[in-house]
Amino acid sequence: MHELAKTAARVILHRMGGLAILRGLHRRKFRVLMLHSFSDQDETNLEAICTHIVRYFTPVSLSAILDALDGVRSLPDDAITVTVDDGYRNFLLHGHPILRRYRIPTTLYGVGGFHDGQLWLWPDQIEFGLQHSKRSSIGMPLENGKPLDFALRTPAEKAEAIARLTERLKEVSNDRRVAFLAEFSKLCGVEIPSDPPAGREAMSWDELRAVASEGVEIGCHTETHPILSRLTDRTELEREIRGAKEHFEKRLGFAVRHFCYPNGRPIDIGETAIRCVKEAGFASAVCCTWGLNTAGVDPFQIQRIPFASNIKLRYGQELLVGLHMGGSGQLK
């Protein structure tokens, strides 16, 4: 019965004008899409998403949105912009060409150490190690000394372990996460390479400058991608925010105005981090809290809509009109 009701609701949405009604109700709100990674296999799907966006919404830049929040200009109805986290090179190859062709303004948030080639993103290291591990399980010690065990016998168990361990490491202090990652290779019995695997490489600074010359706004996603609320040292927090901004501007040769909080839930940010972002001289910051934004939104807590280049088009259309905004989880 529940599935029948869901099917009926989607018929109303997609065949009987429900999407248009919801768009009308939210036409004065602006939308900020949140993407991360792109693939050549998803280009056709991304084209369909972009076709829908330019037909029913008005793409604008993040800077134009900030001008509207400052009262410098007004936003059109159904305003929308795209943000891309992390700075993977697959954006350059499979995302940027399509978004540019459809004239959809994009802001890319990079990680300083990632673009320097000094690190690759720690959740990707967790995925790599567990996927390649030949062990039946690994354990992560907890504060009380009792290990948290992760089974690795089947692909499904490995996928669950990747998700659980990644989420667990977001909850511990940054020092403890770093210490765990230093021992992670031994725990899973896998040599973690110094460079990321194919598909997880970072864009170079030259490539960032190149896409910036083509209209992409470059933002900062910290220096090493920690969970900011898990940093216990104010100096370290400053290095991840103010230091990262200075690093980006020195490398790129232009001002970097936009910031993105890693993981971006309220519990992952904290008031101290928000204050540091403001004091560093950023003009905006985006969260991972799901939602549409009104003209009164705090420019340092802009909500976003979770998206992906392989998202099912119908589900994506529903997200764009404000449905499914109740939290976080897997995209459908």
Please report the pLDDT score of residue 51 as a whole number: 97
**pLDDT over threshold 70, residue 138:** yes
Shared domain check, 165 and 71:
no
Please report the pLDDT score of residue 3 as a whole number: 61
Shared domain check, 163 and 129:
yes
Shared domain check, 109 and 224:
yes
Specify if 237 maps to a domain: yes
Specify if 62 maps to a domain: yes
How does pLDDT run across 56-107, given as a tens digit for each residue? 999 999 999 999 999 888 999 999 999 999 999 999 999 999 999 999 999 9
Shared domain check, 245 and 134:
no
Residue 80 half-sphere exposure toward CB, CA atoms < 13 A: 27
**pLDDT over threshold 60, residue 328:** no
Q: Quote the percentage of the chain above a pLDDT of 90.
A: 83
Please report the pLDDT score of residue 17 as a whole number: 78
| Mean pLDDT, range 45-62, rounded to an integer | 97
Domain final position from 161, 188, 215: 188
Shared domain check, 232 and 84:
yes
Confidence of residue 4 (pLDDT cuts 50, 70, 90): low
**pLDDT over threshold 90, residue 149:** no
**pLDDT over threshold 80, residue 303:** yes
Specify if 217 maps to a domain: yes
Shared domain check, 126 and 235:
no
Shared domain check, 170 and 79:
no
**pLDDT over threshold 80, residue 12:** no
Shared domain check, 224 and 251:
yes
List the single range of 1-15, 149-163, 289-303 with lowest mean pLDDT: 1-15
C-alpha gyration radius of the chain: 20
Higher pLDDT, 2 or 231: 231
Please report the pLDDT score of residue 291 as a whole number: 94
CA 180 to chain centre: 24
> Any residues with CB less than 8 A from the CB of 284 and at least 6 apart, and which?
62, 66, 257, 258, 259, 299, 300, 302
Specify if 3 maps to a domain: no
* Among the listed residues 237, 314, 306, the one whose alpha carbon sits nearest the alpha carbon of residue 269: 237
Shared domain check, 292 and 178:
no
Domain of 180 in residue numbering reads as 122-188
DSSP notation for 150-161: EE-SSHHHHHHH
CA–CA gap between residue 59 and residue 54 (Å, rounded): 7
CB 117 within 8 A of CB 202: yes
**pLDDT over threshold 60, residue 330:** no
Domain count of the fold of the chain: 2
Shared domain check, 130 and 98:
no
Specify if 7 maps to a domain: no
CB 133 within 8 A of CB 205: no
- Domain CATH code at residue 50: 3.20.20.370
CB 45 within 8 A of CB 67: no
Shared domain check, 107 and 224:
yes
**pLDDT over threshold 60, residue 204:** yes
Specify if 19 maps to a domain: no
Specify if 109 maps to a domain: yes
**pLDDT over threshold 70, residue 29:** yes
Domain final position from 147, 166, 188: 188
Please report the pLDDT score of residue 7 as a whole number: 63
Shared domain check, 178 and 158:
yes
Domain final position from 166, 188, 210: 188
Specify if 176 maps to a domain: yes
Give me the torsion for CA of 170, 203, 291, 71, rounded to 10°: 120
